[in-house]
Amino acid sequence: MAQHIAFHLAGSAVATPRRRVPSAEVDALIGQSAGWVEDRFGIASRFWAEPDETSSMLGAQAAQAALIDAGWDAGSLDVIVGACGVMEQPIPGTAVLIQRRLGLSDSGIPAFDVNATCLSFLLAFDVVLSGFALGKWRRALIVGADIASAALDFSDPEASAIFGDGAAAVALEAGGPHQLLTLRLATYGEGADHCRLEAGGTRLRPHDDLAGFLARSKFQMDGVGVFKATARRFPAFMSGLLDAANVDETALNSIIPHQASATALEHLKRSIAGAHGKTVDIFRSHGNQIAVSLPHALHTARITGLLAPGSTSLLVGSSAGISLGGAVVCW
Amino acid sequence: MAQHIAFHLAGSAVATPRRRVPSAEVDALIGQSAGWVEDRFGIASRFWAEPDETSSMLGAQAAQAALIDAGWDAGSLDVIVGACGVMEQPIPGTAVLIQRRLGLSDSGIPAFDVNATCLSFLLAFDVVLSGFALGKWRRALIVGADIASAALDFSDPEASAIFGDGAAAVALEAGGPHQLLTLRLATYGEGADHCRLEAGGTRLRPHDDLAGFLARSKFQMDGVGVFKATARRFPAFMSGLLDAANVDETALNSIIPHQASATALEHLKRSIAGAHGKTVDIFRSHGNQIAVSLPHALHTARITGLLAPGSTSLLVGSSAGISLGGAVVCW
């Protein structure tokens, strides 16, 4: 981004499904001895939604709480941006369903979705702040919600045991005191097959080939492939991002990453000087929540006092695609 | 939008599936006598994709042709925005798959999707032009592709006979000579149930309830409901849009609408003074192509000479949600 953009992170909140699932339950599910999942993947528990807990329901819960946190009436919003990894349903989008749940059905407040899988929040943040910079909107709500547990293949522990469900929302206002110094997204489609959920769009047709549809209706991940593809691109991406922000990595006060996996978080901490003590890590208690991990980590940073006035944060992550994304914010 | 944004519509193209489907074929499919579909819905033919013709394949065809039309190397793009109604698959998004098909796999060019169902193109146009105004990007490609035929319920002629498949792409450059005067989107979630495709996201789980999943895996539309909900909001939306652009409706040189249905197009033409002679209408030959109708109509306007220098166009439409959207452009 060519210029700094002033905004105010006025409110934030998260919502989790009722059911917390300890890793011992997942051990049983995948036929491993007690303690295997936690030892292997560094995750102690995650939340999984019951069928009645939908993306828009969890998203609206988080949205409502973020509005209360900001002290705003829902009707004062100028835009609602849905930032999910996978939508609740194809038509209409999740943001519309959340608008309705917020009692804004007849408001006319624009509600739409953006998608960059696990980086959808960063994309929404870019869209909203661009709108602020151009005077289009004063108040915006970004809502992410993902229910990974709807499509997990437990015959592949690496692609199932680490995922959790949840929602997060942030209330943003134009005008400061916070500053976006830079925001970047880079996509390398060569990695498009490393993380895949194929069924649920226009290509696979359940009425023509049900068996083929069902066989591809669970999330598939080549963990080593995606890690390698991401790690290879990461150093150049990071140095470009920090150069654009004119910030040295040692000057970062907090690092707010997507929670891809314990391995990815450890790699990130080792890649940035001094990162171990200042990186938000909620993986052990929530796992990888797809597009919700990043705003959930931002909310955690905020309520634990990491976003001190004048301090600088790096928001960073990777997503299916593969894409790398990052932003540098001064609070 | 608070300010005019300069851009150049440098190239455009469409792609259609190989198979053109005359309405006589649809008459047979839905058990009506020959001529019934054309008489009733005002559609003579549409294109339907075969299983090998995917959204990203058609999208890449249109994208390639738009790049040739613009005289650009694909590698000169700064961003690729996917603007589909329904994605090819949930993970990763359609824009990533198109990036790979364009040979840009290792380019790092950001590729992401935006979604407002039938108004996704208008949303992408807003995102791209905002990026131009802020100096983020110089060259952008917007690609829409939809394969409605993958999820049609032929027991409901109104919700099936009028839909066609296709793709469209536009190549946009920052800096003029074209000007976006205003762009607006308004969402009324009260209409969220009028147009629905429920299966294919996080809510309905085929492995838990296959029958329920399949029962909701086709597009459902309450045509009267969506028409009424849209028509009720349209006059205020239009006058707000034209006021924001400071353009009188009689000064519009061309009207480029989403091709929702013959009835909706007729209603639009009657709603705007003098619209009958200057509205792009490709419904009879292509039907409703979801998010592709609007950029396809824009391409048609462009190649038929409707976008004369200094002339003013209205882009306008409605989508599931319901949302209303419009833009006023001076060429």
Residue B257 Cα, gap to closest chain A Cα (Å): 19
| Cβ count near B247 (within 10 Å) | 17
Phi, psi angle pair for A328, to nearest 5°: -120, 125
Res A61: pLDDT: 98
Question: What ipTM was estimated for this complex?
Answer: 0.97
Candidates A91, A110, A320; nearest CB to B86? A91
Mean of all residue pLDDT scores within chain A: 96
Q: pTM score, two decimals?
A: 0.98
Residue A211 above 60 pLDDT?
Answer: yes
Nearest CA in chain B to A165: B202
With beta carbons less than 8 A apart as the criterion, state whether A170 and A9 touch.
Answer: yes
Contact of A197 with chain B, judged by CB distance below 8 Å, is answered with: yes
Contacts of A171 (CB under 8 A, 6+ apart): A9, A10, A11, A12, A66, A67, A69, A70, A72, A139, A140, A141
Residue A292 Cα, gap to closest chain B Cα (Å): 14
3-state secondary structure of B86: coil
Quick one: pLDDT band at residue B3, thresholds 50, 70, 90?
Answer: confident
Which residues of chain B have a CB within 8 Å of the CB of A217? 206-207
Which residues of chain A have a CB within 8 Å of the CB of B136? 1-2, 130
Q: CB distance B112–A3 less than 8 Å?
A: no
Residue B65 above 80 pLDDT?
Answer: yes
Mean pLDDT calculated for residue range A303-325? 97
Q: Give the Å distances, CA to CA, from B324 to A100, A146, B188, B235, B251.
A: 16, 27, 8, 11, 21
Residue A328: exposed, middle, or buried by beta-carbon count in 10 A (0-12, 13-18, 19+)? buried
Res B216: pLDDT: 95
Res A3: pLDDT: 73
Nearest CA in chain A to B51: A203
Res B176: pLDDT: 87
Q: Which residues of B87-117 are buried (b: 16+ CB within 10 A; e: fewer)?
A: bbbbbbbbbbbbbbbbebbebbbbbbbbbbb
Mean of all residue pLDDT scores within chain B: 96
Structural domains in chain A, sorted by start: 5-176 (3.40.47.10), 182-330 (3.40.47.10)
Nearest CA in chain B to A130: B130
**Tell me: the pLDDT tens digits for A288-312?**
999 999 999 999 999 999 999 999 9
**Tell me: the pLDDT tens digits for A113-151?**
999 999 999 999 999 999 999 999 999 999 999 999 999
Which residues of chain B have a CB within 8 Å of the CB of A51? 205, 208
Mean pLDDT calculated for residue range A85-93? 97
Residue A111 above 50 pLDDT?
Answer: yes
Mean pLDDT calculated for residue range A173-190? 97
Mean pLDDT calculated for residue range B275-291? 97
Beta strands in chain B (DSSP E): 5-15, 19-22, 45-48, 79-82, 111-115, 139-146, 166-174, 178-187, 195-196, 220-221, 254-257, 312-319, 323-330
| Single-letter code of the amino acid located at A203 | R
Nearest CA in chain A to B237: A108
Quick one: pLDDT band at residue A1, thresholds 50, 70, 90?
Answer: very low
**Tell me: the pLDDT tens digits for A20-72?**
999 999 999 999 999 999 999 999 999 999 999 999 999 999 999 999 999 99
Mean pLDDT calculated for residue range B308-324? 97
Contact of A321 with chain B, judged by CB distance below 8 Å, is answered with: yes
Which residues of chain A have a CB within 8 Å of the CB of B111? 187, 189, 321, 323
| Stretch 116-175 of chain B: residues touching chain A, C-beta under 8 Å | 116-117, 119, 123, 127, 130-131, 133-136, 145-147, 150-151
% of chain B residues with pLDDT over 90:
97
Contact of B189 with chain A, judged by CB distance below 8 Å, is answered with: yes
Residue B193 Cα, gap to closest chain A Cα (Å): 8
Which residues of chain A have a CB within 8 Å of the CB of B208? 51
Residue B318 above 60 pLDDT?
Answer: yes
**Tell me: the pLDDT tens digits for B19-48?**
999 999 999 999 999 999 999 999 999 999
Nearest CA in chain A to B203: A88
Contact of B81 with chain A, judged by CB distance below 8 Å, is answered with: no
- Strands B323-330 and B312-319 come out as antiparallel
Residue A86 Cα, gap to closest chain B Cα (Å): 6
